[in-house]
Amino acid sequence: MYMEIIKYPAKADWKNILKRPLFDYSEMEAKVAPILADVKANGDIAVKKYIKEFDKIDLQDLKVTAAEIAEAELAISPILKKAIATAKFNIEKFHKAQVVTGKPIDTTPGVTCWQKSIAIEKVGLYVPGGTAPLFSTVLMLGIPAKIAGCDEIVLCSPPGKDGKLHPAILYTANLIGIKSIYKIGGIQAIGAMAYGTESVPQVYKLFGPGNQFVTAAKQMVSRQGVAIDMPAGPSEVAVIADNTSQPDFIASDLLAQAEHGKDSQVILFTIDEGIIQPVMDELQKQLDNLPRKEIAAVALSSSKCILANNIDELMAMSNEYAPEHLIISVDNFNSYSEKIVNAGSVFLGHLSPESAGDYASG
């Protein structure tokens, strides 16, 4: 058994139960500051030095070439290309509907006021490397930047041991029209985009997730005149299930987020005690076949399954937790969703194991 099961917790204990690990980035700043200062002062030379130190490779050219993009295109299977095209279509359709055209308002006769959104000219997108090629991040960050009309979009991602970026990242970036792609990760990538170097253009705002070093670096440069989207914490999901839910789907929803990282946190909320054991059994079964089993198991060990007395109490706990992602995978999802006060993204309805993976990767 992996997840801790907590039945009918008293309200006084909620805060403690729902506490997420809060990372103190100030402790990292002593490590991050000298690297940022070095990149600011010495540009590409410093960037290459840290790539050698951290990524253990000697890079001559930081910028991805047209030949590397052509090579990536050949390396991507038709099935993956089709999946990326579908995701691109959906993400574009959704974000195009978000474009705000300010309504002119006459506040006083002769005084007309309106909001106008103008794209940030130069933006920097950070796409983490490491254990999985996050081409979904390329889509999620790049498509809104393109729709907004950003002039210059710079993308940095850490090179693999072969000194290259994963072909899925290159293929996706090229597909949505990102031309400035750099093989730089970590603190040195944030520094390069924040200050500019001989090869990397300076940008006005940085976007994207990253590990604790990247987050600390983003927070530091945000105090030096560069904007950032937000400090990104570990991935998390809360899933609400009841006796109308399919245990295998619920287990997939939980694992799809748990496999993101050892520091991920997943929470299962339910008012039906009977759904708990079947989900736990499915978790065990699916976990055994998961390529990222080890990571997901660590994340599950600090995760929780919480049994509540009723929907009101359950939603009060969910709102107190304020999950990044909330999946309400029950028949009467509206009874829950109308009580949402705090949540990042919300999914209503039943996911299939396949769609759960797609969803969570976004």
Compute φ and ψ for 142, nearest 5 degrees. -75, -40
Q: Which one among 16, 77, 101, 108 touches its own copies, defined by CB under 8 A? A: 108
**Count of helices and strands (H, E) across the chain:** 14, 13
Q: Which residue has the tokens 């079947």?
A: 278
Which residues make Cβ contacts (< 8 Å) with residue 274, sequence separation at least 6? 243
Give the interface segment with its own copies, choosing from 43-51, 55-63, 240-248, 334-342 (CB under 8 A): 334-342
Q: Please, what is the minimum distance in Å from the beta carbon of residue 181 to its own copies?
A: 24
Q: Which residues contact 240 (CB under 8 A, 6 or more apart)?
A: 269, 270, 314, 318, 326, 327, 328, 329, 330, 336
Interface region with its own copies, contact rule CB under 8 A, candidates 75-83, 101-109, 190-198, 269-277: 101-109
| 101 forms part of the interface with its own copies (CB under 8 A) | no
Shortest CA distance to 214 belongs to which of 31, 20, 49? 31
What six digits make up the tokens of 317? 């706990």
- Single out the segment in contact with its own copies by CB under 8 A; choices: 35-43, 53-61, 82-90, 237-245: 82-90
Instruction: Please say whether the beta carbons of 356 and 252 come within 8 A.
Output: yes
Residue 294 binds its own copies (CB under 8 A):
no
Among candidate residues 92, 325, 338, 350, the one labeled active-site is 325
Q: Which residue has the tokens 């390529």?
A: 291
| Options 301, 341, 344, 352; binder of its own copies; rule CB under 8 A | 341
Q: Closest separation between CB of residue 229 and its own copies, Å?
A: 12
Query: Is residue 89 within the footprint of its own copies (CB under 8 A)?
Result: yes
8 or 94, CB closer to its own copies?
A: 94
Is residue 286 a contact point for its own copies (CB under 8 A)? no
Stretch that binds its own copies, among 39-47, 84-92, 263-271, 280-288 (CB under 8 A): 84-92
Rounded to 10°, the helix 66-75/167-175 angle is 110
Q: Is 85 in the site for its own copies (CB under 8 A)?
A: no
Q: Closest Cα to residue 197, out of 72, 2, 61?
A: 61
Q: Is the Cβ of residue 70 or residue 341 nearer to its own copies in the bound state?
A: 341
58/106 with CB nearer its own copies:
106
225 binds its own copies (CB under 8 A): yes
Q: Does residue 121 carry a catalytic annotation?
A: no
Spatial distance between the Cα atoms of 262 and 302, rounded to a whole number of angstroms: 9
Which of 16, 13, 17 minimizes the C-alpha distance to 269?
17
Q: Are 189 and 93 in contact (CB under 8 A)?
A: no
Q: Is 342 in the site for its own copies (CB under 8 A)?
A: yes
Q: Is the dihedral of CA 140, 141, 142, 143 positive or negative?
A: positive
Number of residues that bind its own copies (CB under 8 A): 33
Residue appearing with tokens 């490779």: 57
AA identity, residue 231? P
- Per CB under 8 A, the list member of 5, 80, 88, 90 interacting with its own copies is 90
Query: Which 3 state secondary structure label does DSSP give 205?
Result: strand
Does 94 contact its own copies by CB under 8 A?
yes
The nearer residue to its own copies, 272 or 320, going by C-beta atoms, is: 320
Does 325 participate in catalysis according to the annotation?
yes
Determine contact, residues 205/174, Cβ cutoff 8 Å: no
Considering the complex, state which of residue 20 and residue 164 has its C-beta at the smaller distance from its own copies: 20
Question: Which of 16, 60, 77, 98 touches its own copies by CB under 8 A?
Answer: 98
Q: Nearest approach, Cβ of 239 to its own copies (angstroms)?
A: 18
Q: What angle do CA 253, 212, 28 make, to 5 degrees?
A: 155
Catalytically active residues are: 324-325
Residues that bind its own copies (CB under 8 A): 22, 24-26, 86, 89-90, 93-94, 97-98, 100, 102-103, 105, 107-108, 111, 113, 115-116, 118, 121, 219, 222-225, 231, 340-342, 346
